[in-house]
Structure 1
Amino acid sequence: PNYVKDELRRVLPPTSVPANPLDLTGDATRERYNAALKVVQDVNATKVVVVESLPFISSAEVARSVSNFKGKGVVGVVMGMDEELAMRVLESAGVPGFYFPEDAVRAISLASLRPSPRRKIRTKQPIEAALELVKGKTSLRDFEALRLMEIYGIRTPKWGIAESEEEAVRVADQIGYPVVMKISPEEPVHKTELKGVALNVTKEQVAETYRRLSQITKRVLVQEQLTGLEIFIGGMRDPTFGHVVLIGPGGIYVDVLKMVSYGIAPIYEDEAYDMLKESKVLDMLKARRRGYDEHSLIRTLVTVSRMIVDLDVKELDLNPVFVNERGAFAADVRITFG
């Protein structure tokens, strides 16, 4: 601004031009540094001050001048014989200090790109049907968990429960082939570890598959066989941050790749989009231009973040969530409370 330039002309020597960058000249004193910083202290910009040894002032003395303007957007770059002492002066005053101008500019650039903190309003608004479903329970059986997803508008594959060979065939006929058949225990378990999952089951294989799975649990879950990208969505109640939602590559890759992004619940659509980018899920969705519905996954992630707050969920695993051109579908759900 012109008024700042006019003020600077009063404190600078005639040979110095009030421009960016501002040269205080080689005969600068501590008083000149103080005067120049006082003029620009309220300018809405970050001020990078090169703290170097000059004939009439040391780096440490410049650092002390800079320290007087903490909180005014000043950053120090120390260069000179006593740069270690100058850096300690800046650090003790809580002023950012760097040894190279390039590092200072890079740090300022990254800080400017950081989104502003968002206030999280954790107002519980649970759906009445969901409250009735989870009332008095520490966990949900798989079919109850699928029902909870549907109550909250989270899509699931077509599914049904069977407790006999005939019922399994009838449910599979209604869903359409091929189907997935899974054990349906009373408590949440890793079904694949118990060899309790059968994929691509044809009509001719339903009865035999039911007989095998029913040796583990009499109740068997029959689901539509889906294709698409497998995604993991999770939730947990953290002792420090409260409810947190997670997303990353699903299936077996959630433990192998460990590319998981965390968000403090509830999250908003723009935060969900950033989480997809951070976890590389967005890149996976867009690979080979398959037309997978990223917007459906964003809606699902946002809904999950609100649900875990509404119902005070302790832990939640949606793995896998199938994402394809039709949308996002939670195929397997484990949830605990308490």
Structure 2
Amino acid sequence: MKRKPQSPESLKVNVQAAQSVLDDVKRLGKSLLNDMEARQVIEAYGLPIPDSRLASSADEAVSAAADIGYPVVMKIVSPDILHKTDIGGVRVALESPEVIHNAYTEIVENARRLMPQAQIVGVDIQTMARGREVILGVNRDPQFGPLLMFGLGGVYVEVLKDVSFRVAPITRQDAVDMIHEIRSYPLLVGVRGEKSADIQAIIECLLRLSQLVTDFPQIMELDINPLMVGEAGKGATAVDCRMRISI
């Protein structure tokens, strides 16, 4: 029996909010958004992001963590630093004011020592999301348009290269198929008694990402890595986001 053809869904999004961030970035003459700017864009399209604050001093970092609640993650914010972990620009599971104060100093000093030419905006303090790591990505092909990618996230995507692709805009069935196509799909639904990841949350994020890059042709590249996916019914959180636009 043939599957009935589907059409891409039109989801409720905030086009103006996304447009405003992209316009501000373009006015600055930048093509690469920092992590916080990129998260503002995807948040406008309904992708869930962690609660976060930008700190420009160690004292501000301590105050931000108290507002958000422990444990927190701290990350260097710089348009010039793409691989934050490689330069000691990330700290996770921080649970006390003293540790956070020291971590801020260490993160900034690491960045200045290893990448002295980098512009440092500050340090992002965010709630610590837990779950399975997956990656959502987009690369705009000059012939086919925006090409969506899905796979296991974190370091796994570079090692395993276990990913699936579709040209946007995609349908809900396309999103389902993308998830099922990766070889490591059994890890998402759980092995040896593990609970399944929230597959419906991944589907929703893929659909919203598809609509975003369809609506904004100036988005040339976009990576959400990782998207932390909780257990079934617990949702997902876009922890890190990288975005490049045409200017």
TM-score range, shorter chain: 0.7 to 0.9
Aligned equivalent of 1:185: 78
1:116 shift after superposition = 8.5
Say if 2:18 and 2:41, in contact at 8 Å, map to a contact too: yes
1:319 to 218, 225, 231: 225
CA gap of 1:262–1:176, structure 2 versus 1, over 3 A, is same
Q: Which has the larger radius of gyration?
A: 1
The answer to whether residue 211 in structure 2 is matched with residue 269 in structure 1 is no
Say if 2:35 and 2:241, in contact at 8 Å, map to a contact too: yes
CA gap of 1:132–1:286, structure 2 versus 1, over 3 A, is same
1:280 shift after superposition = 3.8
Structure with more contact order per residue of length (Cα contacts < 8 Å, sep ≥ 6): 2
For structure 2, list consecutive stretches of 5 or more residues without a partner in the other structure: 112-119
- In structure 2, what is the Cα distance between the partners aligned to 1:121 and 1:237? 21
Aligned equivalent of 1:159: 52
- In structure 2, what is the Cα distance between the partners aligned to 1:221 and 1:258? 29
Aligned equivalent of 1:226: 129
Amino acid in structure 2 at the alignment position of 1:186: P
Aligned equivalent of 1:294: 199
CA gap of 1:244–1:120, structure 2 versus 1, over 3 A, is farther
Equivalenced residues, count: 224
1:118 shift after superposition = 7.2
RMSD between aligned residues: 2.3
CA gap of 1:281–1:297, structure 2 versus 1, over 3 A, is farther
CA gap of 1:188–1:126, structure 2 versus 1, over 3 A, is farther
Aligned equivalent of 2:143: 240
Amino acid in structure 2 at the alignment position of 1:331: V
Q: Percent same amino acid at aligned positions?
A: 35
TM-score of the superposition, structure 1-length normalised?
Answer: 0.62
1:127 shift after superposition = 0.3
- In structure 2, what is the Cα distance between the partners aligned to 1:141 and 1:306? 21
SS at match of 1:283: helix
- In structure 2, what is the Cα distance between the partners aligned to 1:131 and 1:276? 29
- In structure 2, what is the Cα distance between the partners aligned to 1:171 and 1:273? 38
SS at match of 1:236: strand
Q: Which runs of 4+ in 1 moved over 4 A?
A: 115-122
The answer to whether residue 164 in structure 2 is matched with residue 256 in structure 1 is no
1:202 shift after superposition = 2.0
1:187 shift after superposition = 3.7
Written as runs of structure 1 = structure 2, the 5 A alignment for 1:55-74 is none
CA gap of 1:238–1:118, structure 2 versus 1, over 3 A, is farther
Written as runs of structure 1 = structure 2, the 5 A alignment for 1:65-214 is 127-135=15-23, 136=26, 137-187=30-80, 189-203=82-96, 204-214=98-108
1:334 to 217, 227, 242: 242
For structure 1, list consecutive stretches of 5 or more residues without a partner in the other structure: 1-111
Amino acid in structure 2 at the alignment position of 1:328: A
